[in-house]
Amino acid sequence: MIATTDSRQAPQSFESADAYFDAFGLNQAARDFINRPLRLLIDGRWTDASDGGTAPIVEPSTAQQIGTIAMATTEDLELAVDAARRAFDGGEWSRITPLERESLLRRLADLIEDNAEEFIALETLDVGKPLAEAELDIQGTIDTYRYFAGWASKVSGRSGQASSLPGNYVTYTRKEPVGVIGVIVPWNFPLQTLAWKLGAALAVGCTTVIKPPEITSLTTLRFAELVAEAGIPDGVVNVLTGKGSKVGAALAAHPRIDKVTFTGSTATGTSVGHAALDNMTRMTLELGGKSAVLVFDDCDIEKTVEEVALGIFSNAGQICDAGSRLYVQDSIYDEFMAKLVEHTRTWAMGPGLDPESAIGPVVSESQLKTVTGFIAKGVEEGATLLCGGNTAEGPGFYVEPTIFGDCTNDMTIVRDEIFGPVLVAGRFSSQDQALELANDSEYGLAATIYSNNLNVVHELSQGLKVGSVYVNAQSSIDPAMPFGGYKKSGFGRDLGTEQLDFVTETKTVWITLP
């Protein structure tokens, strides 16, 4: 690969997946789970794919196969949609009292918490992320179900009054569950992203057909076991592991679902959106990002250096709102970048199960190729490789935390989402220029400002064309606050009270009095 001056220690490699599990004492429940046949969940029954198809599960730190999952067919999809339809149209889920739904969702959250160690281990095995990061994901998942459980009994319409129509009316609105929701989720935060979709949907009484990411389905399958254990009726949650281009595409185009909620790349989201629109299926699209980070010269440099590194290297940069485009004010650019590079070299790269690892591998061989392709492109386009750039020798899909300096907005590595541990950095001289550079992107998911100047912070927060603005920290996420994108980062919102509008239809009732 590309030579840099880094002398980073190579991550430990293992002869086999079992040797890796033994070295770090993998949670026994997780070990037992991956050794079980992992099937589809349709109408409360675990079943093989109709054609018996399976696919290997490849662990990213060792590049070894650790199990197999079933690969659903479009016939399986028909059965799952039938089940979800029955559970919605004639089933009890939307008819039980909201407080009963709330208590079932709380029980589900409690069960995830009871099995948290197993979930953390499974998410680490599947995605390659360090255990400490998986722990945050599982806690975020539990919090999301608890937050939306509380909304089950709070969602309601409003009474209104005609403003210009002569006559005497009683008018009110009803909030009704949208129906059967097709849920399609990406591989970077599989269980937590699922919670972002399911929490609100289940709270208001919708039923679901879930298409987890084909390369990271483990935690979704374990979660689905707990759905039954919590007492949620059969058919409310159906899970079809399988290929996105086949079962995912067929789900988005299915005429008998009422809504599709998708998180993933802008390219796939666009085709999902077209397919859904053909049936006038409602949709939420949470898509890609290339989020700008604006560092002003009045910031706390030491703290900002650490935050900026966290914002791009957490989860090996595979975060939709990763702060992947850095712009530093001219007056501190050299000092800031030198400190950032020095700090980045302290990030220990290693396998997910090793508690010493700060950054794990990327998720797959294909993602490794994509990321290293972008690194080569950056060098070719004349950006300065300040650190990183290498892959590790031996098995495992490792890419060093990488920083490019002297980047300009016309470069591919600045325009495209890399979705790996690669930060591209450039300079700005004024607040106006910072805003112009930040908004010069087809994406609009998030942006971060590091400054203690109130005017700068407020003016930029108004001017940035993004769904989330973070100030003096990055990627702050909470179930109570909405998340979503402007521009090609999608539309609709997950989380917060705003999401409730995307899982319900609003019906207006007019009663004309004599």
Nearer to ligand NAD, 26 or 363 (CB): 363
Which residues in 443-472 contact ligand NAD (CB under 6 A)?
Answer: 445
- Residue type at 217? S
248 touches ligand NAD by CB under 6 A? yes
Active-site residue among 286, 307, 400, 417?
286
Q: Could you tell me which stretch among 120-128, 137-145, 184-192, 403-411 binds ligand NAD (CB under 6 A)?
A: 184-192
Nearer to ligand NAD, 267 or 338 (CB): 267
Q: Are 336 and 308 in contact (CB under 8 A)?
A: no
287 touches ligand NAD by CB under 6 A? yes
Calpha distance 439→127 (Å, rounded): 31
Q: Provide the total of helices (H) and of strands (E) in the chain, helices listed first.
A: 16, 22
289 touches ligand NAD by CB under 6 A? yes
User: Cβ 265 to ligand NAD, closest distance in Å?
Assistant: 3
User: Cβ 494 to ligand NAD, closest distance in Å?
Assistant: 7
User: Cβ 146 to ligand NAD, closest distance in Å?
Assistant: 20
User: Cβ 67 to ligand NAD, closest distance in Å?
Assistant: 18
User: Cβ 491 to ligand NAD, closest distance in Å?
Assistant: 10
323 touches ligand NAD by CB under 6 A? no
Minimal CB distance residue for ligand NAD: 244
Nearer to ligand NAD, 337 or 503 (CB): 503
Contacts with ligand NAD: how many residues (CB under 6 A)? 31
360 touches ligand NAD by CB under 6 A? no
**Which residues, at least 6 apart from 98, have a Cβ–Cβ distance to it below 8 Å?**
152, 153, 155
* Three-class SS of 467-500: CEEEECCCCCCCCCCCECCEECCEECCECCHHHH
Residues 101, 107, 108, 110, CA torsion sign? positive
To 5 degrees, how large is the angle CA 234–CA 235–CA 237? 100
Nearer to ligand NAD, 11 or 490 (CB): 490
**Which residues, at least 6 apart from 78, have a Cβ–Cβ distance to it below 8 Å?**
none
Q: Are 251 and 260 in contact (CB under 8 A)?
A: yes
Structure tokens at 259: 């809504």
The answer to whether residue 286 is catalytic is yes
User: Among residues 88, 204, 87, which one has the least CA distance to residue 150?
Assistant: 204
Q: Could you tell me which stretch among 92-100, 143-151, 211-219, 308-316 binds ligand NAD (CB under 6 A)?
A: 211-219
**What is the edge-to-edge ordering of all strands in the sheet holding 384-387?**
384-387, 402-405, 422-428, 325-329, 292-295, 446-450, 468-471
Sole binder of ligand NAD in the list 264, 317, 351, 421 (CB under 6 A): 264
Q: Could you tell me which stretch among 85-93, 173-181, 264-272, 351-359 binds ligand NAD (CB under 6 A)?
A: 264-272
Calpha distance 399→410 (Å, rounded): 24
Known catalytic residues? 286
Contact set with ligand NAD (CB under 6 A): 184-188, 193, 211, 213-214, 244-245, 248-249, 252, 263-265, 268, 271-272, 286-289, 320, 417, 419, 445, 485, 489-490
